[in-house]
Amino acid sequence: MVERANKPAAIPVSPTGPSPHVIFTADNSRVVASLPSGESVEVLLHGATVVSWKSAGTENLFLSDKAVLDGKKPVRGGIPLVFPVFGPPPSSGPLSTLPQHGFARSSRWEFLNQSSSEASTSARSAADDSVKLDFGLSSSNLSPESLRAWPHKFSIIYSVTLSKSTLQTTMLVRNESEVSFEFQLLMHTYLRVTDIGQVTVSGLNGASYIDKVKSASKAQETQSELGISGEMDRVYTGLQPQKPVVVSQGGKPRFEVIRDNLEDLVVWNPWIDKAAGMSDFAPQEAYKQMICIEAGAVNGWQKLEPGDTFEGVCSMKSVL
């Protein structure tokens, strides 16, 4: 396991006072966790897709009314996981048979365990509570098609940590084989907003980006507050680690996104035509209530030597 500062140390749940609550639904389809202070998170085993994150009673994530949640296709909304390839697969070679965005979001993950971090002193407050859910995917979970397309022995532990105002997602990829392999990785987060016309994104000023709406042309961000007034599909690359990206609504910060070891970030809104073109995107006007802010390592490929691990973290703070 890659050691990093500020990792919540999981300690046994103390007997004093209300504790975080975790349930695994009867149909084995999802895990729901909540804190004594009311925050909650809901994760499907299908794709280990977070489909709900609530803080102060407010839903922070967008989920399409027509999102398919029965495992038959990737979820349109929440936090789908992208691995081992971002976007359409290479046009030739073994990877070419992978689905767009890879197999992680379409695979059945295992729920590995839960742990709760609580302040162990009497000074404990609800703000100290958090609950961490671990999910696993490995080569042994893959469909024959995925294994044919990507025949590498790997394991991923995906951790979702809910605390009072923050949701932290961590992907830990391990090369379990005798040879190196390469991958891309991204958390395809659909944030819920009230009106895209009032949304601005800051923290990208000066960064290079690939504009997928303009034939993947390269450009540099010049706006300190980026507004969205049409289809936007930009891959910002080589961002300063730990530099917050802030999504504001009506001039007030709503989300703060901090990445660790994920140097790229995608900003996507399908707008009218692309929204109309997605059968699982509803209602069609819903493009006004969402913006994808996607932390990842997608500019080029991450190479992992045998036995090595790659850890990427995205912490999102909900400002209400």
Site for ligand TA6, rule CB under 6 A: 74, 87, 100-101, 188, 212, 233, 266, 268, 292, 294
For residue 296, the surrounding DSSP H or E stretch is strand 290-304
Residues listed for the chain: 320
* Residue 96 vs 100, nearer CB to ligand TA6: 100
State the nearest-atom distance from the C-beta of 57 to ligand TA6, in Å. 28
Distance CA 229, CA 210 (A): 18
Strand 208-211 relative to strand 225-227, pairing: unpaired
Catalytic residue among 188, 256, 263, 311: 188
Distance CA 103, CA 145 (A): 10
Please say if 21 is a catalytic residue: no
Active site residue 101: no
Helix (H, G, I), strand (E, B), or coil: what is residue 94? helix
In angstroms, what is the minimal distance from the CB of 273 to ligand TA6? 13
Least distance between ligand TA6 and beta carbon 205 (Å): 21
**Closer residue to ligand TA6, CB minimum distance, 32 or 213:** 213
What tokens appear for 155 in the block? 């394991």
Please identify, using beta-carbon distances, which residue of 273 and 305 lies nearer to ligand TA6. Answer: 273
Q: Please state the closest distance from residue 98 (CB atom) to ligand TA6, in A.
A: 12
Which residue is associated with the tokens 């709900």? 52
- Least distance from ligand TA6 to the Cβ atom of residue 171, Å: 16
Judged by DSSP in three states, 28 sits in coil
Amino acid at 300: G
- Shorter beta-carbon distance to ligand TA6: residue 42 or 294: 294
Contacts of 130 (CB under 8 A, 6+ apart): 8, 20, 35, 116, 117, 118, 161, 162, 163, 164
Catalytically annotated residue among 42, 256, 294, 311: 294
Q: Whose Cβ is closer to ligand TA6: residue 20's or residue 89's?
A: 89
Rounded to the nearest 5 degrees, what angle is found at the Cα of 69, between the Cα atoms of 66 and 74?
Answer: 85
Q: How far is the CB of 133 from ligand TA6 (least distance, A)?
A: 23
Alpha helices (runs of H) in 5-90, residue ranges in sequence order: none
Six token digits for residue 39: 């925050």
Residue nearest to ligand TA6 (CB): 268
Closer to ligand TA6 by Cβ: residue 167 or 298: 298
Exposed / middle / buried, residue 108 (Cβ in 10 Å: 0-12, 13-18, 19+): middle
Q: Which are the catalytic amino acids?
A: 188, 294
